[in-house]
Amino acid sequence: MRLSKLFAKTQREIPAEADTISHRLLLRGGMISQVATGVYTYQPLAWRSLRKIEQIIREEIDRAGGQEVSMPVLQPIELWQKSGRDQALGKTLFKLVDRRDHTLVLGPTHEEVVTDIVIHNIRSYRDLPVNIYQIQTKFRDEPRPRAGLIRGREFAMMDAYSFDRDQAGLDTSYQKMLSAYKAILARCGTEATIVEADSGAIGGKDSLEFMLLTDSGEDTIIICRKCGYAANAEKARFNKGGADNGRPLPLEEVSTPGMQSIEQVAGFLNVPAGQTLKAVFYVADGNFIFVVIRGDLPVNEIKLKNTLKANDLRMATEAEVLEKGIVPGSASPIGIKNVKVIADDSVEAGTNFIAGGNKPDTHVKNVNYPRDFKADVVTDIALARAGDTCPHCSTPFTAVRGIEVGHIFKLGTLYSEKLGAYYTDENGVSRIIVMGCYGIGLSRLLAAAIEQHHDDKGIIWPVPIAPYHVYLCALYREGTKVDETAEKLYADLQTAGIEVLFDDRKESPGVKFNDADLLGIPLRVTVSARTLEKESAEVKWRAEKEAQLLPLEDLVTVLKQMLAGKMRA
RNA sequence: CGGGGUGUAGCGCAGUUGGUUUAGCGCGCAGCGUUUGGGACGCUGAGGUCGGAGGUUCAAAUCCUCUCACCCCGACCA
């Protein structure tokens, strides 16, 4: 491709509305353009990279036994009503009404559709296991799209679904996909960290996320450097430690004038925050929830939401709290009535806590669970942070940021039950199908790869997903053979099957070199009056500082060898 | 949805106490000439319903009302 003809224009100025690296570089390189919030056109360079990622994924999923299909983007709302996810997804579902007044959904994912198809195609144990996948545009009306391709409302995704006879079969399918995912991310030149994750609106029990670590990531990941335990903060387990403050003593009211927050109360009574109990109030799907947790721990709203099986969870307003007869600042679970109480398990791992007195300026000492109050549920609803310790080896955690590029789930029989997916076994008995599902965000992966591979000049594409492999840079000068030499090299490279972007523009060297750096093509080959004096061309890896002069003779062969060495990670 | 912010040429911005403006500047773009190893220079030129609607006024990019779009921070996810 000749750069002079490429449908893209590089920009010198940093686009004002972008402040994430990948977003900036994609815009500056003329690789994407925005059409609406979270909606982008992929221009030729980005599209080529995306197609390469797609091909890598296709090869690896095929190798893992997947069969590619194409399911519809348009889906009848009824399927979503059957699974109940029209409620769970809520406003995230893009809906539209057809001419018959029938509501359709733009597919955000395909568990419902795929299960429905399987019901019509799988009848016998002989048909199992099966794994089907597609690579397609997905639509989600995200509350807040951001950072260009990292979170769009329309994005490219590979979604795969496995169907097995039983849990053991699912385990096998899941492991195959886990391996395939590792291979895909490695081949794309990215370094992924696999973490335990919450399954969110997809549902199911076990799930793992593939994170590309970068500061611009949206997720917080908790990592144990010693034993390797890694989890999304919203899922992470940790040692809360006990709060043994001696044998349970009798309750005792204390005056705490003006003391409301945990810090104030703990400071006033001269005890650590971990010896207090914190009350936090939420509204889950319209129901008021009283949450009790040890004073030094934050509530993990994801864990809480899962415990409650709620679609919608938010903090209660002060008015809602007062309406329940609760005294903010001195709220107590003791004697609370007609309110659902959820307690973190830290409250039963300690004694003689200080809790609210449920009247102004008053707290109560020596509160013990379950002697003094009852919770409807006692479970883990605490948020892990850096410095908390690993549940496996007690080493303090490190917290890092990451972008979730892939997620695999053991769905089990969640959808099979709701939609009715059964097969007949060897004995003629009808049994439920066990499912798994697996997603990779291709457009996000593209952006995340840039987050991992760039410098202050621009992108540094990993060779396997680079839009082109060679950036042929001709520095023209009157009275030299630069023009004809570059043209011949361009032709020879193409003949040899090397993907080459030819900078044939009549621009100054500075412009060309800067654009070459910005666009990040792995190998830069420069032909100039200077190099021709030595019958050679200058060859430089984008990722490296030093360039080398190589003879024009058999240059194509040499370049081919150089690239071959980098095609596999 | 809550909070913050921005809309003036393809991009980055100035102008906003209403009137000296025919709305400017830099980059980019077009033409001509000189240049050519890290974003060259000169000359000439094209390009704008100042996000939209309504209002106030002799007069609106500028003031008022409404509205739309976009960005950032939070709850959501590949």
* Distance from the Cα of residue A184 to its chain's centroid: 15
For A256-357, list the strands marked E by DSSP: 277-284, 287-294, 313-315, 340-344, 353-356
Distance B58 C1' – A138 CA (angstroms): 57
Nearest nucleotide over every DNA/RNA strand to the A200 CA, judged by C1':
B77
Gap from A533 CA to B42 C1', Å: 32
Q: How far is the CA of A506 from the C1' of B38 (A)?
A: 16
Query: Among A220-234, A315-329, A389-403, A424-438, where is mean pLDDT lowest?
Result: A315-329
Q: How many residues does chain A have?
A: 569
The tokens for A316 are 């209660």
Q: How far apart are CA A525 and CA A463, in angstroms?
A: 15
Per CA to C1' distance, which residue is closest to B5?
A17
Q: How far is the CA of A137 from the C1' of B48 (A)?
A: 37
Identify the CATH assignment for A21-68+108-236+399-451 out of 3.30.70.1520, 2.60.40.10, 3.40.50.720, 3.30.930.10: 3.30.930.10
Q: Measure A364 CA to B73 C1' (Å).
A: 38
* A468-564 CATH, one of 3.40.50.800, 3.40.630.30, 1.10.10.10, 3.30.70.60: 3.40.50.800
Give start-end residues of each CATH 3.40.50.800 domain in chain A: 468-564
CATH fold for the domain made of A252-379: YbaK protein (3.90.960)
Least confident of A231-235, A452-456, A513-517: A231-235
Nucleotides of B under 7 A from a protein CB: 1-2, 11-13, 26-28, 35-40, 69-78
Strand, coil or helix: A310: coil
Query: How far is the C-alpha of A69 from the C-alpha of A323, rounded, in Å?
Result: 54
Question: Given this model, what pLDDT does residue A285 score?
Answer: 76
Residue nearest to nucleotide B73 (CA to C1'): A144
Q: What is the mean pLDDT of residues A91-100?
A: 89
Spatial neighbors of A492 by CB under 8 A, at least 6 apart, are: A556
Q: Which residue, A499, A441, A529, A464, is CA-closest to A142?
A: A441
- In chain A, residues under CATH classification 3.90.960.10 are 252-379
| Residue A226 structure tokens | 């010693």
Nucleotide nearest to A516 (CA to C1'): B38
Q: How far is the CA of A16 from the C1' of B18 (A)?
A: 30
Measured CA to CA, the distance from residue A459 to residue A520 in angstroms comes to: 4
Q: Is the pLDDT of residue A375 over 90?
A: no
Closest residue by C-alpha to C1' distance, nucleotide B74 = A144
Six token digits for residue A231: 């989890």
pLDDT at A308 over 60: yes
pLDDT one-digit tens code per residue, A504-543:
999 999 999 999 999 999 999 999 999 999 999 999 999 9
Q: What is the percent of chain A with per-residue pLDDT over 70, rounded to a whole number? A: 99
Q: Which nucleotide is nearest to A517 (CA to C1')?
A: B38
Work out the pLDDT band at A568, boundaries 50, 70, 90.
Answer: low
Bigger pLDDT: A343 vs A434: A434
Bridge partners (DSSP) listed for residue A399 = A222
DSSP string, A10-75: --SSPPTT--SHHHHHHHHTTSEEEEETTEEEE-HHHHHHHHHHHHHHHHHHHHTT-EE----SEE
Shortest CA–C1' contact from A458: which nucleotide?
B39
Answer whether A275's CB lies under 8 Å from A353's CB: yes
- Whether the per-residue pLDDT at A337 is higher than 80: the answer is no
Residue A198 has pLDDT above 80, yes or no: no
ipTM of the complex in this document: 0.91
The per-residue pLDDT of chain A, averaged, comes to: 88
Nearest-nucleotide field for A515 (CA, C1')? B39
CA of A79 to C1' of B77 (A): 21
Q: How far apart are CA A549 and CA A567, in angstroms?
A: 23
> Among all strands, which nt has the closest C1' to A27 (CA)?
B11
Mean local confidence (pLDDT), A463-473: 97
Mean pLDDT of the region A295-313: 81
**pLDDT number for residue A203:** 64
CATH code 3.30.930.10 region(s) in chain A: 21-68+108-236+399-451
Which of A182, A176, A236, A175 lies closest to A211, judged by CA? Answer: A182
C1’ B11 / CA A134, Å = 38
- Residue at minimal CA–C1' distance from B12? A13
| Residue among A446, A456, A404, A438 at smallest CA distance from A40 | A446
Give the distance, in angstroms, between residue A366 CA and nucleotide B77 C1': 43
* Strand order from edge to edge, sheet including A313-315: A313-315, A277-284, A287-294, A340-344, A377-379
